[in-house]
Structure formats: structure tokens, C-alpha cells
Amino acid sequence: QIKDSATSTRDVLEQHFSDLKGTLKKLLDERLTCLLQEVDVIEQESIKPLDECQKLIEHGVSTADDLLREGESAVDGDVGQQNEKLCNFTKKALHIQLDSLPEVPSLVDVPCLSAQLDDCLLTILKNQIFRHGTVASHPPVQLEEFVEKPGGILVRWCKVDEDFIPQDYRLQYRKSPASPFEDVYVGSEPEFMVLHIDPHVDYQFRVCARGDGRQEWSPWSVPQIGRTTLVPHEWTTGLEGYSLSSRRNIALRNDSQSCGVLYSKAPTYFCGQTLTFRQTVGQPDRRDSLGVCVEQRNGDDSLQRDKAVCVSTNGAVFVNGKEMTNQLPAVTSGSTVTFDMEVVQLGPCSNEGGNFKLRVTISSNNREVVFDWVLDQCCGSLYFGCSFSYPGWKVLVF
């Protein structure tokens, strides 16, 4: 592990700094090109009026030179032609206006280009580079526990660095070593229920954390394998009045007038596990129910019957059809209702019957009720079910 992680760390560092050098060179080249373009623009815009002024002066000098030669010729000629030549020379000289010159800008108004380069950039970069990157010998958080759930895994982690103050955690998983890791949770809780897990398949998990007030994530924990052997909970298909999700773990009460109890596909709830319902609420009714039962029974419109325990959407708890005095808070949208059961056996138990007692704990909105459920038969596994009188209710089971 030490050699593999050291090799991997070297590769990451070399690749990161190689990318960083390439990016810095690209940025410096782009900045140099931009500054050189600024020099070209200023030079072209500033030299144009000076070039035009120079052309006017050169043209005036050339004209004056021609006129001077013409004057010399008029003076040197014979007497008969002098008067005519001098007259033409005088008219031409007055027309040319030799005392007129274009306006020449003063020297202080003429641009003089220079480059201002602040050497403090190197100091800033040096300080930042020397603080860039760290090497950690141990990640501050590690995976601690995998708890099998039907069609899911409850993943727990803990911090192993006492000086590290976590702000957020980030959990990733992948199904095979050839596939990339995917984010499955980012938040402040030290555990997360990962759903949609295929049973009897190894999944690889890793977790990291972000320190309080920091932007960067810590190094990843050592990857670990998690799996579940429990098949996922599924609702029964084909019952009019309910629509199911593609994985059949979400049931939606639709607009159909038909009513009845929607049961699980199979008795997949076992004592010692936690059964969780999470719902979106609709219009409540006193006959609504969420719970577990010994057997499926067609024709009932609620689990408020014998061989079943359930909670109504208004918080009433029913055991074998009888309402208990203790109640739970009314079901709210997004809240969870959980069932936990353990076996307490009274007397001999056989397939033919016998006294059989389950200790049941139902929790909702930070409240719970605990009671004993006495049955006349042994139950290794139970069905779960729900019933709603009005549309709009949606229930996720896991």
C-alpha cells in the first residue's frame, strides 16, 4: 500500500505541475502578445500625423527650392526678359505663401513608448508556488462501517485526524474497477444510505472531507468494498390505483377511484432490520395506513386489521386493527416512518402455531412508540403495505 500510494502520489504531482507549467506558459505568452499588440496600435496611431506633417514640410521645401532656382534664372537672364520673368516670379511667390508651415506638435506631445514591468509579480508567484500543494501521509477521514440494507448499503465514516475540523464530506462509489468513481453524497452527515445497489455485487467506496472554511478537498480515504446480500424492497405491480417507478420501490397513488392495500412483491422484511418509508403527502384520511403484515389479503382497504401493525397518516398506531392510546406526529412531506422489530418468543414455536411475540418500534418525526405484537404463528419474514384514499401520496420504501 505504501509503495503503490507513493507511486500514485508521484504521478499525480508530476502531472499536476506539468499541467501547471503548460498553463502558466500559455498565459504568459498570451499576455506578451496582448502587450505587443498595444505597442503596435500606439505606434501606428501616433506616427500617422507626424508622417503627414513631414510630407507637407518636404513638399514646401521642394516648392521653395524650385522657386529659388526660378528667381535666379530671372535675375541672370537678358534685360528684355527680366521684367517679365521677375513679374511671374513675384506672382508665383505671393501665391505659394512661403511663410506658411504646417503645425508641428511639440516634443512633449509626441508619444514615447516604454514598458512598465513590476518585479513584485515574481515575489508573489514565488510565495504562492512555495505554498502550493501538500503531501499527506494519512487522509483525515476513513470509511468505518457498511450496513447491509435491502437493495442498498448504509455507509458510515469517521475522522481519524483529531486536529481536522470537517465542514463537508464527499462520498463516491463505483461498481467495477474499470469504471470511474461517481459522487453519491456531499453533505455534513457522517453517514449515507446508498440506494439502487444490486445484491451480491461488490461496490468500491471512498470518502474525503473539506476542512472548515476551506475550498479544497482532503485526500481520499483508502477505498473499501461494500456489498449487500438483501434483495431490494419492491411494491407489487398491477394494482389499480397505484403507479410504480421503474425500480418499483416508489408507489404513487393516482387519480383512480379504485382503492385497496398495495402490498410488497414478497415478504422481504426480516426482524432485526429497519424498514423505512419516506413520503410526499396528499389529502389525508383516517383509513390511510403504512405498515407490515403477516400475509397479503385482497379485499381490504386498509392495514388497520388483524395480523398487521400500521400507522395512519394522522399518527394513530394500530395493532391487529385496534388503535393504541400512544400516537405519533402526523406524517409530513419528506418525513420518514421507520419500523424496527425483534423477536421475543413465548412458549414452543412450530409451523402448526404457538405463541410468538415481536417487539415493535415505530418512529416518526423524532418520536417513537414501542409495543409487543403477539401472533399465533412464527414469522420469519413479513410483507409491508400502504393504503391511501386520495391521490397525491407518494411512498419510497427502503
**Residue 393 and residue 263 share a domain:** yes
Mean pLDDT, range 221-229, rounded to an integer: 93
DSSP-derived letter for residue 262 is: E
Residue 116 CA to residue 5 CA, distance in Å, equals 47
Q: What percent of the chain lies above the pLDDT cut of 70?
A: 92
What is the band of 77 on the pLDDT scale with cuts at 50, 70, 90? low
Looking at the structure, tell me whether residues 127 and 166 fall in a common domain.
Answer: no
Rounded to the nearest integer, the mean pLDDT of the chain is: 87
- Pick from 232, 233, 236, 294: which is nearest to 260 by CA? 236
Q: Does residue 79 lie within any of the structural domains?
A: no
Q: Is residue 111 part of a domain?
A: no
- Choose one of 103, 133, 163: the last residue of a domain: 133
Residue 139 is given by DSSP the state -
Q: 352 and 277, same structural domain? A: yes
Flag whether 350 is in a domain.
yes
pTM of the model: 0.58
Residue 247 lies in a domain: yes
Indicate if 22 and 148 belong to the same structural domain: no
Is 365 found in the same domain as 247?
Answer: yes
| Helices first, then strands: H and E counts in the chain | 3, 21
Does 262 lie in the same domain as 158? no
Mean pLDDT of all residues in 168-189: 94
Q: How would DSSP label each residue in 144-188?
A: EEEEEETTEEEEEEEE--TT--EEEEEEEEESSTTSPPEEEEEES
Q: Are residues 222 and 253 in the same domain?
A: no
Question: Cell triple for residue 101?
Answer: 508651415
What is the domain count for the chain? 3
The mean pLDDT of 276-298, rounded to a whole number, is: 94
- Could you tell me the residue range of the domain that residue 23 belongs to? 1-57+121-133
* 243 pLDDT more than 90: yes
Is residue 110 in a domain? no
Same domain, residue pair 185 and 252: no
Examine the domain organization and report whether 335 and 273 are in the same domain.
yes
